């Protein structure tokens, strides 16, 4: 059995929730920035090669941000699996919604939690 400190579990759960919120907020902000930048150059007379380059750069940033969020989600799933095999498995540390039903629950590890996407 893995021995976890309850206080550490609470801190990690809170930071996981905060990280997801921060990443999602950054993703939304970048989407808005991208839309405004593309709209701003749309009728500027900028050569198509430069506008295509800008759009490609913005798209690459969005893809990287989506990957970062996906990897964070995978790490949270791994933490959940660790928690289920620990001395804290029966403890719902009170994560903010919607995490309390997905995090730190008891029972069998689901395919979702062990499948890296």
pLDDT digits (tens, 9 = 90+) for 86-96: 898 877 665 54
pLDDT at 113 over 70: no
Tell me the residue range of the domain where 23 lies.
6-114
Number of domains in the chain: 1
1 assigned to some structural domain: no
- Mean pLDDT over 79-87 rounds to 88
pLDDT at 109 over 90: no
In degrees and rounded to multiples of 5, residue 24 shows phi and psi of -65, -40
pLDDT at 115 over 70: no
56 assigned to some structural domain: yes
Provide the b/e sequence for 103-115 (b: ≥16 CB within 10 Å).
bbeeeeeeeebee
For residue 114, the number of C-alpha atoms closer than 13 Å in the C-beta half-sphere is 5
């Amino acid at each position: 059995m893995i021995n976890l400190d309850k206080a550490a579990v609470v801190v990690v759960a809170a930071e996981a929730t905060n990280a997801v919120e921060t990443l999602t907020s950054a993703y939304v902000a970048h989407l808005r920035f991208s839309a405004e930048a593309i709209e701003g150059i749309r009728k500027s007379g900028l050569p198509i090669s430069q506008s295509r380059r800008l759009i490609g750069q913005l798209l690459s940033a969005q893809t990287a941000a989506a990957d970062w969020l996906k990897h964070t989600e995978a790490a949270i799933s791994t933490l959940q699996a660790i928690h289920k095999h620990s001395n804290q498995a029966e403890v719902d540390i009170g994560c903010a919604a919607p995490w309390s039903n997905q995090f730190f629950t008891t029972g069998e590890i689901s395919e979702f939690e062990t499948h890296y996407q």
